[in-house]
Amino acid sequence: MIAIRFLLRFLLVPLGGLGAAMAAATVVCFAHLQQFLKLVANDPTAPENIILAAILVGPSLVIIMSIGAFAMLTPATIGVVISEIFAIRSILYHLANGALASWIGWVVMADFLRQYEFFKEPTPSIAAGIAAGFVYWAIAGWNAGFWKPVFAPPAPPPSTTVAAQKP
């Protein structure tokens, strides 16, 4: 049974990490949507149709924002390893891990990210980290730790024997 849980962790943890990264990238893209639309509107070479501009320019900007989100979540792997080792299954732990990791990643990558119009302040990055932490918890964090069963049978109550008292 423990071997099956161990192998299952090798599937769930990367799947949770991928889902968390996709959630972070989605939050970052939606957080910067107004900046994206403003950038397209101010571009003289942009086509008149905003939908066509989003189709043509959007994928490159999504890739730039996704690279930033992925790089900011790399410190979260330390928190994931800690949660797997100690079987920490708390949603608050994973939310805090995502927020702290994205803030640390934003601080470390601030010089690289400032050359783009996005990531000028940490708020969208921290929101992306919180969303990533929630998605990771929903996929893999709620049953962290391969050695600790999730649905364990309840422990038997301690036996209480009362010795007969002689008057």
Contact 31, 114 (CB under 8 A): no
pLDDT for 26 equals 86
Does residue 163 carry a pLDDT above 60? no
The chain-wide mean pLDDT, for the chain, equals 79
In a domain, 154, yes or no: no
- Domain contains 8: yes
Q: Is residue 160 part of a domain?
A: no
Q: Is 142 helix (H, G, I), strand (E, B) or coil?
A: helix
- 112 residue type, one letter: F
Does any domain span residue 150?
A: no
For the chain, percent of residues with pLDDT exceeding 70: 74
Which pLDDT does position 141 carry in this prediction?
83
Q: How many distinct structural domains can be found in the chain? A: 1
User: Is 163 a member of any domain?
Assistant: no
Residue 120 has pLDDT above 70, yes or no: yes
Q: Which of 35-39, 110-114, 161-165 has the lowest mean pLDDT?
A: 161-165
**pLDDT value, residue 143:** 83
Cα–Cα distance measured from residue 88 to residue 85, given in angstroms and rounded to the nearest whole number: 8
- Whole-angstrom Cα Rg for the chain: 23
Is 137 part of any domain? yes
pLDDT at 48: 64
- pTM of the full structure: 0.74
In a domain, residue 162? The reply is no
152 located within any domain: no
pLDDT above 90: residue 64: no
- Residue 85 is predicted with a pLDDT of 85
**Containing structural domain, residue 125:** 2-143
Residue 68's nearest CA partner among 134, 128, 136 is 128
Residues 95/101/102/108 CA torsion (nearest 10 deg): 170
Rounded to an integer, the average pLDDT of 126-152 is 82
